[in-house]
Structure 1
Amino acid sequence: MNNSSFLSGHLMEHDNSSLAELLPEFFHQWPKNLEWAREKDKKTNIDASQLTEFFSLLSEPLKVVQHRSLSFDPWEVAGLGRKEVRNTAVLAWLLDPEGTHGFGRLPLQAFLQAIRHSRNDIPEDYLHYCRVRVETNPTGDNTNRVDVEINADNFFLLIEVKIDAYEQPEQVARYCSDAKLRAISRPWAVIFLTPRGGKPLTCGLDFKPEDVPCISWRHLATALVSSLQAHYKEFISANENSPSRQMAAHAAFCFLNRVRTF
C-alpha cells in the first residue's frame, strides 16, 4: 500500500481518530531514502499522476476531519472531565442493552468479549434478561457501594471504576465476596477498570486473580469502538437517517474518545 492510500484509508476506517493521531505513523512510513536535490541546477522528478491520486484520496478523509472539528461534544458541555461518578453513569448507560444509545446489546457484548481473555467462563451475551445499574449495594450492606452492577440471568458482574481515586481498605476483596454471594451458581467477576489496567491492591488472599479481570479505559474504548463502528456504518449505508439515533451514536463515540485518554 502506498503512503497516500495508507493515510486516506486509515482516516476513513477510523472515523473517530484525528488527523493529528495518524500523521506521525504516516510520516514514519514515508520512504526514508528520498534524497532532495541540493544543487540549484538539479531537477527533482515528480510523478504528476501519483501526486494527483494522493490529493484526490485525501479529499474525503479531510472532509471527515473538518466535519469532526466542528462537531458538538455533549460531554464537554456537561463537564464530564475525569469525574468518576459522572463517567460511571455514562458507562452504565452505554453498557445497558435497554439504553437510549440505539446500539442494543452490542456495547455489552463487546465489553464481555474484552474480559474473556481472563474469564472465559463469562458468557458472551445474556439469554433472557439483563439489568445494568449504578451505585448499588449488591447485598444490602451500605458500606459496599459498587460503581456498576450487571445482573443477567446467566452471569453476574460488578465493575469498580477508577480514574484518579485510590482503593479503599479491602475494597476489591469485599466486592468479590458480594459478587460471589449474589451470583449463587452463575459465573461472576469483579471488573477492575482503571487508566492503565493495573491489578488491584485490595483483592486479598481468598480470591484468584482471574476473579478480578483488569482492563484499561483505552482497551475498553478500543473494543467498543471497533464493534460499534461496523454497526453504525451499516446503519448509515442503509439510509436510516434518524436524527435522534445519529445524535445518540455521536454521543457514544464522543464518550469513548474521551475515556481512551484517561
Structure 2
Amino acid sequence: MILLSKHSNLAHLNTSTDIPKLSEFISLFEGLEKKLDYGRLIKEKESFESLLERFIVQEEEVQKVKASKADNYNIFDILAVRHYEAKVHSPFLAHLLDPKGSHEQGKLFYRHFIESVFKEDLIKTNLLNGVNLQVETELSSQYGFIDIAIRNNSIDNSFILIIENKIYAGDQERQLERYYEYARNILRLSDKQIRILYLKPNRARPGAFSINDDLYKKLKGNVLQEIGYKEDILPWLKNLKNEIKAERVKHSLQQYMDVIKTL
C-alpha cells in the first residue's frame, strides 16, 4: 500500500484513475523520445550519405587529374638508377651536350650550357665556335678515365672541355692533376685551350687529394671551375626547356630535372 503525505502534491491523486493516466503519459513520452532520437539518426544518416557521395565524386575527379598528369611517374625512379654517376648522369648530360645526339636539337643544349656556365666572353666565343665537336664519356688514357670530354679538333680552334662528375664518389689520387696533364702532354693544348669543370650536387672545391693547393690556385677561375647540379645544371635545363621542339625530349628532361632536385 502506498502512503501519501497530506502535504504531498500527489496526495489528492485518485489511485484508481489518475495513476493509470500518469503511466500512459510516461509511456507516450518515452515513445515520443524514441521517435525523436530515430528522426535525428535518420537526418544524420542522410547527411553522412550526402557527404560520402560528395567525397566519392571529388575522389573520382582527383583520380582523373592524376591519370592525366602522372606527376610521380619517373623512369629514373622506376629503374632505381637516379644515383648512378657513370651509368646515368654522365651519359645523359653528355648526350644533351652532343649536337649529334638523338634529341635532334643540334647545338641548343651545348650553346645554352656554355653561355650559362662561363662568364668570360673570350672563353664563350672559343667554345661556341667549335665546329667539329666530339663528345665522349669515360675517355680512357694512361692518365685515367674522364667522365665527359668535349673536344674540338681544328687548326685554328682546338680545345677540350672536361667535366668531372662527382655525386657520391670521392676524389681519386691526383685525379684533376692527371686530367690537366693529359690535356697538356697528350693533346698538346695550352691553358687557354683547356677547361675543367668539377661537378658536384652543390658547388664544392676539389680536395687536395685530387689536386694540390699550388696547382689549384694556378688553375682556379682560369682552367678549373666548380659547378653544381643545383646551382648550374638545373637552371641551365630550366632556361632552355621552352626552346625544345620535341615533346619526348621535354618529358625526359622534366623527369631528369626532378631527379636533380633530390641529389
TM-score by length of 1: 0.63
> Which residue is 1:258 aligned to?
259
Taking the aligned partners of 2:179 and 2:121, their CA distance within structure 1 comes to: 17
> Which residue is 2:96 aligned to?
94
Query: Which of residues 180, 184, 194 in structure 2 aligns to 1:188?
Result: 194
Shift in CA distance, 200/72, structure 1 to aligned 2, threshold 3 Å: same
> Which residue is 2:82 aligned to?
81
> Which residue is 1:144 aligned to?
144
- Aligned: 1:128 with 2:136: no
- Counterparts of 1:201-212 in structure 2 under 5 Å? 201=207, 202-204=210-212, 205-206=214-215, 207-210=218-221, 211-212=223-224
| Structure 2: runs of 5+ lacking an equivalent | 1-63
Q: Deviations over 1:66-123 (max 9, x none)?
A: 8443474222223222111121111111111111123221111122123213795243
- Counterparts of 1:1-262 in structure 2 under 5 Å? 67-70=68-71, 72-86=73-87, 87-117=89-119, 121-123=123-125, 124-137=127-140, 140-141=141-142, 143-153=143-153, 154=157, 155-181=159-185, 182=187, 184-185=189-190, 187-201=193-207, 202-204=210-212, 205-206=214-215, 207-210=218-221, 211-232=223-244, 235=245, 245-262=246-263
Taking the aligned partners of 2:137 and 2:83, their CA distance within structure 1 comes to: 17
Residue aligned with 1:226, SS? helix
| Structure 1: runs of 5+ lacking an equivalent | 1-62, 236-244
| Matched residues, number | 186
Q: Which one has a larger percent helix, Structure 1 or Structure 2? A: 2
| Deviation for aligned residue 1:223 | 3.0
Higher relative contact order structure (alpha carbons within 8 Å, sequence separation ≥ 6): 1
| Deviation for aligned residue 1:150 | 0.4
Shift in CA distance, 221/115, structure 1 to aligned 2, threshold 3 Å: closer
Taking the aligned partners of 2:118 and 2:65, their CA distance within structure 1 comes to: 34
Taking the aligned partners of 1:165 and 1:213, their CA distance within structure 2 comes to: 19
Taking the aligned partners of 2:73 and 2:247, their CA distance within structure 1 comes to: 12
Taking the aligned partners of 1:131 and 1:147, their CA distance within structure 2 comes to: 14
Q: Which runs of 4+ in 1 moved over 6 A?
A: 63-66
Residue aligned with 1:213, SS? strand
TM-score by length of 2: 0.62
- Contact conserved, 2:234 with 2:260, CA < 8 A, in 1? no
Give me the identity figure in percent.
21
